[in-house]
Amino acid sequence: DAGVTQSPTHLIKTRGQHVTLRCSPISGHKSVSWYQQVLGQGPQFIFQYYEKEERGRGNFPDRFSARQFPNYSSELNVNALLLGDSALYLCASSWGTGSYEQYFGPGTRLTVT
Amino acid sequence: AQSVTQLDSQVPVFEEAPVELRCNYSSSVSVYLFWYVQYPNQGLQLLLKYLSGSTLVKGINGFEAEFNKSQTSFHLRKPSVHISDTAEYFCAVTSPYQGAQKLVFGQGTRLTINP
């Protein structure tokens, strides 16, 4: 079975631009979470979505938004990019709200110049 | 709210030596605990988890961890390491009482295996 997939693998954006990152969960998984990992630090929780509804949000500004589609894939959107948004963005999926094992994708490396 | 402290940012060991990576957590409610490994330029791979039951948990690649509630610790151990174990290791905590399935991670421990 395919694991969690993310696209693109890498991208470079300029300050002030907008970016959309995509994630496809493991088949059968209905929950998707997003994490930001700045170089040299542990991942930080951004969002969790389950059955297309937001179930949790971390301490991130409103420039960050996300959504989940009927096929359980998800998009993370970041507006008005700042240099500090440069990071590895990780997507994780799990069966549902009763499952606490999260399976991570390879991540999208975002560089803001 | 939960927090995780990984007591060592870097741990160098020789191949075939034992290793322990230390993790302490803070929480006012019951927690679930995890160890993840991250190889260079990759995502996170689940090594092992503690949800309930036996406090000694065995994971993949010969790793094990012991949950100690009184000391709020969840240290990771391996009796004999290999070069391929070189990676970043993250301890994480979550709680079934917080609503979202939010994992709180430590800062990571870089394990370097020397031949």
Interface residue A53 vs chain B (CB under 8 A): no
Sequence-distant contacts of B71-74: CB under 8 A, at least 24 apart: B71/B24, B72/B24, B72/B25, B72/B26, B72/B27, B73/B22, B73/B23, B73/B24, B73/B25, B74/B23, B74/B24, B74/B25, B74/B33, B74/B35, B74/B50
pLDDT band at A1 (very low <50, low <70, confident <90, very high): low
pLDDT by residue (tens digit) across B46-97? 999 999 889 999 999 999 999 999 999 999 999 999 999 999 999 999 987 7
What is the mean pLDDT of the segment spanning B20-35? Answer: 94
Q: Give pLDDT, residue B80.
A: 97
Q: Give pLDDT, residue A7.
A: 97
> How far apart are alpha carbons B69 and B40 in whole angstroms?
32
Q: CB atoms < 10 A from the CB of B87, how many?
A: 20
Q: Give pLDDT, residue B30.
A: 87
Q: Give pLDDT, residue A89.
A: 97
Percentage of the residues of chain B whose pLDDT score is greater than 90? 81
Of B44, B49, B100, the CB nearest to A56: B100
Q: Name all domains of chain B by residue range, CATH numbers in brackets.
A: 3-114 (2.60.40.10)
Q: Give pLDDT, residue B41.
A: 82
Please tell me the class of the A5-95 domain. Answer: mainly beta
Residues of chain A in contact with residue B46, where contact means CB-CB under 8 angstroms, are 101-103
CB contact under 8 A, A42 and B49: no
Percentage of the residues of chain A whose pLDDT score is greater than 70? 98
Q: Give pLDDT, residue B96.
A: 79
Of B49, B92, B107, the CB nearest to A41: B107
A-B interface: how many C-beta pairs under 8 angstroms? Answer: 67
pLDDT by residue (tens digit) across A58-110? 999 999 999 999 999 999 999 999 999 999 999 999 987 777 889 999 999 99
